[in-house]
Every structure is written in C-alpha cells, then in structure tokens.
Structure 1
Amino acid sequence: MWHVETAISATVVAVGLGVGAYFATPDGLRWWLTGLAVVVCAVVAVVVPQWRYRVHRWEVSPTAVYTQRGWWARERRIAPMSRVQTVDFAQGPLARLFGLASVTVTTASAAGPLQIEGLDRDVALALTDELTRKADLVAGDAT
C-alpha cells in the first residue's frame, strides 16, 4: 500500500515538475530537468516505502501501547493504558483495496494520537477490541 501511495504522490510531483521545467526553461535544459524530476520521483517511490517499513513498529503490553514511526525523523511514543481515551479503526479506499486498516489510539496527551498503519484488517479489528478491553480495565477517566 505504501508503494502505491508513494507512487501516486511521486507521479503528481513528477508531472508538476516536468510541466514546470518544460515551460520555464530553455530548450536545452527542458528534457534534462524533466528527466531528472522523473528519476528523482521514481527513486523516492521505490526507496521511501521500504524505509518506512523498516522503521515502523508497534507493540501492546498489559500496561501501554508503544509505537515507532518516521523515516527522516523517528518518533517513539508510549501511551499508558490509563491515558487511552478512544481506539478507532479506519480504512481508506486504498487500504480497503489491499485488505489493510489503521488503528488510532487517542490519549490525554498534547502530542496527539498514536497511529498504527498498514495492519491486516483482521489484526486491526482484533487490536481495536484488545485495546478497548485493556483500557476499560484501568480505573480512572484517562485525563
């Protein structure tokens, strides 16, 4: 899914850069800049999803949810079960096409929700149920 998402984005950028280079540069540079834009975007479409896959991690323990994401800047987050407010399941059109889904864990944190993307649909549904049960067992109001 990440390959397709990145390929779509890279294609839009390559077309935009190619059109801009074609109309904004002299004849000799047009094809070089257009070709460079296409090559750079193709490399990004191949490299970025593999890089993201190697970095993205998640884990659920009895007391917390752990995530790691990012490809330039890495972000590791821990959400104690006592801070979990909502657990959401989402499937965009592309994720649905691949049978994947995302789980979003909203916490009482200024840093915002934790997202776990690219999960198999059944795994995401089971994770949503598991996190909801575990958060419900913790006393308090998650604030």
Structure 2
Amino acid sequence: MTTPLLRDPAHRVSPRARLMWQVTALVEGGVTLVVLLLVGLAVDAVDVRWWMVAAFVAAVAAWVLVVPQWRYVVHRWEVTDSAVYTQTGWWARERRIAPMSRIQTVDHAEGAIARLFGLATVTVTTASAAGALTIDGLDRERARALVAELTVKADAVEGDAT
C-alpha cells in the first residue's frame, strides 16, 4: 500500500481577496501612522523626524503591495467527502486537514471590508487543540454554499466530533 502524498489543496480564494487584504493593510498602516504621530507630537521626549515617517510609510507601502499578492498565491482550500483541507500563511505556511468526523461547527462571517468586496470567511471548528480552520477571502455566495455543504457532510458522519 502506498502512502498518499500531502498535496496543495485544489481551490484558491477569490481574486478579490488580494484587494481586500491590500485595503485592510492600508487602513491598519494608516491608523498606526496617525497614532504614532499623535503620540510623538504629544510627548515632548519623542522627537518625530520626517525621515522616520517616510521610512514607516515606505514599509507600509511594501507591506500593502507585496504581502496580499503572496498570501493569494499560498491560500488554498478543498473539501472532500472525508475532510477539509486548508493552506494558509504568507511567511510561514500552514497546512491543516480536518476529518469530517471532527467538525463541530461551521461559521460564516463577513467583516466590514470583506462585505465591500463581496467576500466572506468560513471557519470550521474542530475537536482539535490546534484550533479552527479558516478560509478567508471566499466569494460570499461560494462561502454560503460551502457552509451548507460542510454542514450536510459533517452531519452524515457517525460520531460526536470529539
């Protein structure tokens, strides 16, 4: 008997996820910059230099342009009759496999920015110390269909998911 090889899950997230991740990073970077400037100006001990601000803006710009593209290449998911597979990360990759028999709950969430792009996140909670599996950046309708599919498949498996 041959041992099956661990392979990349078959499906990518929505291409719109790249733009959502860029906007999210831009908002987070902008808020952080404003807070740092306000604190720096409010405290006399901190001397705010414009080159520091420019370096921070350059770092945020690199983050906004590079990380979402990289995440899109890596983030994948797949559902089979027996398990849910995910691959995430941008710097370090994580592959997770959750057997249908271990699924406890399946959740659908749409954050404010995700709603702007018609995207959603599906979270599969399992009886695992490693925590839930998340599939971030799915098309809203595909996410709803996936929740329904996983609910039916997990319900069809014997056992109590513990």
Shift of 1:11: 1.3
Check the 8 A contact 1:85/1:105 in 2, yes or no. yes
Query: Hey, what does 1:120 align to over in structure 2?
Result: 139
Query: Hey, what does 1:34 align to over in structure 2?
Result: 53
Query: Hey, what does 2:47 align to over in structure 1?
Result: 25
Query: Hey, what does 1:93 align to over in structure 2?
Result: 112
Gaps in structure 2 of 5+ consecutive residues: 1-19
Q: Within 2, Cα distance between the matches of 1:52 and 1:60?
A: 20
Query: Hey, what does 1:134 align to over in structure 2?
Result: 153
Q: Within 1, Cα distance between the matches of 2:107 and 2:39?
A: 41
How many residues end up aligned between the 2 structures?
A: 140
Shift of 1:121: 0.7
TM-score (ref. length: structure 2): 0.80
Shift of 1:15: 3.0
Q: Within 2, Cα distance between the matches of 1:12 and 1:44?
A: 14
Check the 8 A contact 1:17/1:34 in 2, yes or no. no
Q: Does 1 or 2 have the higher relative contact order (CA < 8 Å, sep 6+)?
A: 2
Query: Hey, what does 1:13 align to over in structure 2?
Result: 32
Residues 10-89 of structure 1 mapped to structure 2, 5 A cutoff: 10-18=29-37, 24-25=46-47, 30-89=49-108
Check the 8 A contact 1:21/1:34 in 2, yes or no. no
Q: Within 2, Cα distance between the matches of 1:139 and 1:118?
A: 31
Shift of 1:17: 4.2
Q: Which moved more, 1:13-22 or 1:63-72?
A: 13-22
Task: Specify which structure has the higher proportion of helix.
Answer: 1
Check the 8 A contact 1:67/1:77 in 2, yes or no. yes
TM-score (ref. length: structure 1): 0.90
Q: Within 1, Cα distance between the matches of 2:56 and 2:36?
A: 6
Amino acid at match of 1:39: A
Gaps in structure 1 of 5+ consecutive residues: none
Shift of 1:13: 2.4
